[in-house]
Amino acid sequence: MDKPSEIEFAWLLFGGVGAMLLLAVVVVVTLIIYQRKSYRQQMRLQQLLLDHQREMIKSVVGSQESERERITRDLHDEIGASLSVAKLFIRQIKYDTTDDGVAKLADQASEVLAETVKSIRDIVQNLSPANLNRLGLNKALGILLARLAAAGIRTQVHQEPADDLSEARQLALYRIAQEIVGNIVKHAAARHVELRLERPAGGVRLTVSDDGRGFDPALAPAALAPGMGLGGMNARAGLLSGALTVVSAPGQGTRVTLELPV
């Protein structure tokens, strides 16, 4: 009577051990599958990060090349042309025998050279923002908008103190504001521009709005980015873990917002 019970106990024991082994195998297989999935996800994330970094580097390089082309254009079109005109006036002095004629040519050459010096200063200012280095971000942005006012565009500036920001963030904010202002002058035909610099908790936000002709942001990558420097602005923002947002529509102006963590 006892033997059948012993046999049943043995079967139960072996069955329990087998079930535990099967459960262990299932757990191990599940862990292996999970680890493989986790590894593949990590690899995908790393690849996405590398792709993003490559795109940022391409944008930065493209922005640098665009800046070099702009400087070359400025030097050729403005400085080169002005110096050529001044040279003509100076050469003409040799052939003009009257005092009045010589004086007039000298005055004309002097005016051209004065304009050339001003153009050189503008180019240097774009290369190295002396106002930012000397006066700080808030005053430098005020001066930037004052240039628009001098060109007949109504401006409004609302700023919270930001001179305590890191040098990299101040430079990024200034350069992006500079690019936006340049775009407004070149493309927007705006009558009114508003700049706001705000300090929300944990960050800084720059917003520049205009009432110009606007554009379709969906077409910007293909049609407007090379002329408007959107790639370079996005790259600057991305390097500091920031975000650039452009809201615009044809005939309804443009609002560009840059948000950076601090």
pLDDT on residue 104: 79
pLDDT on residue 224: 45
- How far apart (Å, rounded) are the C-alpha atoms in residues 252 and 244? 19
Whether residue 137 is found in the same domain as residue 121: no
**For residue 201, what are the domain limits?**
130-262
Whether residue 81 is found in the same domain as residue 184: no
Whether residue 105 is found in the same domain as residue 28: yes
Whether residue 143 is found in the same domain as residue 246: yes
Whether residue 244 is found in the same domain as residue 255: yes
pLDDT in tens, the chain (262 residues): 455 566 676 677 777 777 888 888 888 888 888 888 888 888 888 887 777 667 666 666 566 666 666 677 666 666 776 777 777 777 777 776 677 777 777 777 788 787 777 777 666 666 657 678 788 899 989 988 888 887 788 999 999 999 899 988 998 899 899 889 888 888 888 999 999 999 999 899 999 999 999 888 777 554 444 445 777 788 788 888 889 999 998 999 999 999 999 8
pLDDT on residue 223: 42
Whether residue 193 is found in the same domain as residue 219: yes
Whether residue 136 is found in the same domain as residue 115: no
| CATH assignment at residue 211 | 3.30.565.10
* Domain end marker among 127, 143, 175: 127
pLDDT on residue 78: 66
Is the whole-model pTM more than 0.85? no
The alpha carbon of 252 is separated from its chain's Cα centroid by a whole number of angstroms, namely: 23
* Domain end marker among 73, 104, 127: 127
Whether residue 143 is found in the same domain as residue 46: no
Whether residue 146 is found in the same domain as residue 122: no
DSSP 13-81: HHHHHHHHHHHHHHHHHHHHHHHHHHHHHHHHHHHHHHHHHHHHHHHHHHHHHHHHHHHHHHIIIIIIH
Whether residue 141 is found in the same domain as residue 253: yes
Angle (CA) 68 74 75, round 5°: 90
For the chain, how many structural domains are there in total? 2
- How far apart (Å, rounded) are the C-alpha atoms in residues 171 and 23? 60
Whether residue 147 is found in the same domain as residue 160: yes
Whether residue 134 is found in the same domain as residue 250: yes
3-state secondary structure of 155: strand
Tokens of 207: 């917003």
Percentages (nearest 5) of helix, strand, coil residues in the chain: 70, 15, 15
* Domain end marker among 93, 127, 161: 127
Positive or negative torsion for Cα 180, 182, 186, 190: positive
